[in-house]
Amino acid sequence: MALSPPATTPEAPPRRNLLSLDEDAALADAEVDGLTTLRRFKDSIHDLMPFGPAVCAVIDTPQFQRLRHIKQLGTSYYVWPGASHNRFEHCLGVAYLSQIFAEHLKARQPSLGITTRDVQCVTIAGLCHDLGHGPWSHVWDSMFIPAILPDKKWCHEDASNMMFDDLIKFLAEKGLDFDPDDARFVKALIMGDRSLCSENEKPFIFQIVANKTNGIDVDKFDYIGRDSHAIDQTSNLALKRLMYSARVIDNELCYDIKDAHQIFELCHTRMSLHKRIYTHKTGKWDFADKERDTHVLKSLAKAIEFMIVDALKLAEPVMNIARRLEDPKKYLHLTDEIMGTIESSDDPRLTEAQAILQRICVRDLYRPADSKVFRWDQKQKLKATFTPHSVVQSVKDLYENRAFDASALDGVRPEDVAELSQDHVIVDFTARHHGMQDENPLDYIKFYSKRNPNVGMHAEMDDISVTLPLMFGEVLVRVYTRDSRFLGLVQLGFRQVLKDFTRHEEAASLRHSTNLEIEVDLDLDERPASRTMATPPAEPQPSPSRQPARTLTRRGSRVLARHPSGVVVETHPMKENPFMTLPASYPNQSPKKGKKRERERTAAVDSSGERADAAAVAAPAAEGGGGDTDSESLDLNLMDVPAMAGVGAAPESPPPKKKSKS
């Protein structure tokens, strides 16, 4: 009887340092002429992106490949079909820009002492900075987690650190070790916090991936260019030019003063993308008639976010989704595909969640009732004033006291007012800014000039442009309803709260007018030479080639308020948004039906009036009067007389022939 060979245990893979893979590959390339170990990834934004073996080893891990299943723009993909790119592509782009940025500084300023290890770590940090994003990107960490775990201080960077630690363990199982100091350095770069690693690390490197000083970093470079390309919006930003413009002065990244406009254009593009894509309600006004008085709101990307969050909240007791935050093995499979998991489940406890997701598929979405844009400094007051409770209570108070504004409640059914509750209302606050909240991002950036390339300093506004905006941030308040039956009522309640808010703000302005406001009585058509001018300039002499200035009359006054930043700005009373006006009874009585009834009543009155006029004209003729008629009757008679053919008159066209049925 043959004996079987003794069982052997598989040999453990030889241990190697992760960052040493690039050095070993460089030596191998030097021995064989023409051989390269670089892998090049074809990208729609940056073309070919070359990475060495160390970065590729990180790419080829389950923790990083997970990003293929998370949409970069979340629910905006439901609005922009071309915006189908994922976090995977974005992270590759950020890694590539981090690599060339660090290599540029290394070559341009050798005195900085940037090492190959620094370049590798900043590249891996750019690659892994979004490892922790959850389903639908920011919907997960900014909406769902606060709703489920309101007391938990958590952000996707925390999950990125957790997943990065798990990635390191996976590489260790493959025989690749990541030095602990290098790992801490990478995690500190992801968080943009130098205190998380050794004090010996170079401070300026922390401004490449996640710049906490002024927000100008390669993460912003990539997603602005990539997202603009996804919606087919051409951009004139020269992002690589900005990187090549950068110099390190006093351990801080500085830029050439001639590129200040490009930097502001970058910040302005960020603001524009937030308005058009990231916080897009996708409100499409469908004007059904010529008066443009029927507003049908369709395709709501922001509303889809609320619907997804509601569905996840209903599924949470069954699926324990939020508990996966602390477990990297479970978080690994937490992607956008969770929607399909809920929809395909046979668990009857998920019926309500499935019903909401089904509404997304058939485009039966939550609908925005109204919106308004406010100043940034009003943000805290807005959150305390505009709540689902205040909106609903305003509707009920108006209905109980209908004598106050009876016309606003025409057609409203009592059962709708009684049924309306806070669960039907969503109030959304969206902060939109240029990158540094309500402050000018250029104030946080230092510039140098060609004459003084080693001196970095802040620039004044008149060193760059005097046409920059006075405010750099705003707050968009939108109110939604989960049930379209209450669309008109929710708008009515929101607008009543807006009136109360406006009256409160005006009263506060009057109380503090002595030190906060300046009342200026001037001609509204006159354009002052300067808002900050202490004394008016001497009156210019009229030029002989120009007409003398007109004498303008004073038509009113305006109020200038001092903004918290010190800038004096003009204030306006808040008014209702005329582009979203609906009757309180909508959709039970749509504007189109109301207009139709009004036109029918008007036509009936006109026809009865014409019959009365015709009878008045015919009465004298019947009596044989045949006298002159008054001018008003004559005009009415001439309105029905066909135009006479004459010089310059178009010939009368024959009536259209009816088509025969074949």
**H helix intervals, 109-179:** 116-128, 138-139, 145-148, 156-173
Q: Which residues contact 33 (CB under 8 A, 6 or more apart)?
A: none
| Cα–Cα distance, 586 to 264 (Å, whole number) | 44
Helix (H, G, I), strand (E, B) or coil at 482: coil
Contact between 166 and 65 (Cβ < 8 Å): no
Specify the pairing of strand 446-448 against strand 252-256.
parallel
| Cα–Cα distance, 595 to 480 (Å, whole number) | 25
| Cα–Cα distance, 480 to 490 (Å, whole number) | 8
CA dist 315 → 61, 155, 322, 334, 347 (Å): 30, 21, 10, 14, 10
Q: Which residues contact 178 (CB under 8 A, 6 or more apart)?
A: 17, 18, 19, 168, 171, 172
Specify the pairing of strand 16-17 against strand 176-177.
parallel
Q: For residue 456, what are its two tokens?
A: 């970095």
Sign for the CA dihedral angle at 443, 447, 451, 453 comes to positive
| Cα–Cα distance, 18 to 25 (Å, whole number) | 12
Nearest in space to 74 (alpha carbons), one of 23, 143, 21: 143
Exposed / middle / buried, residue 450 (Cβ in 10 Å: 0-12, 13-18, 19+): exposed
| Cα–Cα distance, 588 to 592 (Å, whole number) | 11
Nearest in space to 166 (alpha carbons), one of 17, 31, 331, 321: 331
Nearest in space to 435 (alpha carbons), one of 250, 225, 265: 265
Using the structure block, give the residue that is written with the tokens 């200035």: 549
Q: What is the CA radius of gyration of the chain?
A: 34
| Cα–Cα distance, 352 to 344 (Å, whole number) | 13
Asked if 46 is an active-site residue, the reply is no
- The catalytic position among 156, 268, 295, 424 is 156
Active site residues: 156
